Amino acid sequence: MAATGALPSSHQNPNITPTLKSPKPSSAAFVIKAPTSNKKKRHTNIRCEIKSFENSNNWTVEPEDPVHFLNNNSPNHYQVAMASESAVRKAKKVCLFYCAETEELAQKVAAESDAIELRSINWRKFADGFPNIFIPNAHGIRGQHVAFLASFSSPSVIFEQLSVMYALPKLFIASFTLVLPFFPTGTSERMEDEGDVATAFTLARALSNIPISMGGPTSLVIYDIHALQERFYFGDNILPCFESGIPLLKTRLQQLPDSDNISIAFPDDGAWKRFHKQLQHFPTIVCAKVREGDQRIVRIKEGDPRGRHVVIVDDLVQSGGTLIECQKVLAAHGAAKISAYVTHGIFPNRSWERFGSDKGGNPENGLTYFWITDSCPTTVRDVMHNPPFEVLSLAGSIATTLQM
């Protein structure tokens, strides 16, 4: 038999399994074409190199498909390698469910990857107002990786979504991932007096008791949780994954024409502790609230905004009072432009209307940009196409996280 080349036609019977026999180890490399289907003669090439064998001329072959022997010119140095078409790693297929508020974001997430398939839920109500929910084709998700994109924009929608979160893992799914971009409770909680109720801890306990799926505990994805200690509220039956919207901001800042003149301002020490490591390559300004009589006034604690495009960074905004006071003091100290970024634009009672555009470089009058993410879908619909607001979508980040 030749050291290199195909076997003779008599050794190419596709109905016999190939075996290789040798009395002593020898050096050889071969390619096996193995059928991948009983119905069609399609084949997968598997390349093997066998290390530290001798007497290759004594090998005998009982073949099925062609077996090609390749001579190795370096008998003292061999490697073992095996690769096939089926060994290529495939993206994890995910069935993504969503609530009514997150439908648009869910569509963007699915558009990021062919491995993510949207699945709908019938969100109905009984005559008394209680949920009447139905998951279509529940048998079809057995053995599948499943995710749910939630939005707790108000207490009235939390119960119906919790009901779905508790139901999905029981449908014999391979794994369950809950994406809750904004963890809403605890944004203003202060345990200062006996009797104060920590609702953030209550919600964390409710999520921690989501049933375990076939693949184990639920994975919970949250972006820029407000109080850092809240990450310790969750029990052992859930795996919290804390992500951030700051990478979206950094990408956007690189696209600005004055990207080399950016400074980052933090409205208080809490924002600095949260984000300064992710933004350490920018010049930093730290503000602080100081008490003057009965008033709390924002002052610059450190840093110089003169001549700079200053971007105020925080995790969320509600009424916007602190941001506006921060804008005023930065403008008074010579900032050329002022913009703002928050991951979660909550804006109750349409408080976003307090923020106007600087109209071409008047920082004392407004902001050049106000960036938010789409973690709060109802806000996005309100501020869309209203300068200075610009929405940075979490869709790409969520799609990447679902592939973990």
Higher pLDDT residue, 220 or 47? Answer: 220
| Local confidence band at 258 (pLDDT 50, 70, 90 cut-offs) | very high
Q: What average pLDDT does range 210-230 have in this prediction?
A: 91
Q: Determine the pLDDT at residue 26.
A: 45
Q: Where are the domains of the chain?
A: 9-87, 94-243, 246-373
- The answer to whether domain 94-243 and domain 246-373 are alike in fold is yes
Q: Determine the pLDDT at residue 315.
A: 95
Residues 6+ apart with CB under 8 A from 331: 338, 363, 364
Higher pLDDT residue, 246 or 296? Answer: 246
| Local confidence band at 227 (pLDDT 50, 70, 90 cut-offs) | confident
pLDDT tens, residue by residue, 240-250:
999 999 999 99
Residues 6+ apart with CB under 8 A from 106: 96, 98, 118, 149
Whole-number average pLDDT of the chain? 83
C-beta atoms surrounding 62 within 10 Å: 13
Q: What average pLDDT does range 26-51 have in this prediction?
A: 49
CATH of domain 246-373: 3.40.50.2020
Q: What percent of the chain has pLDDT over 90?
A: 65
Higher pLDDT residue, 264 or 45? Answer: 264
Q: Determine the pLDDT at residue 228.
A: 72
Q: What average pLDDT does range 138-146 have in this prediction?
A: 97
CATH of domain 94-243: 3.40.50.2020
Q: What average pLDDT does range 43-54 have in this prediction?
A: 49
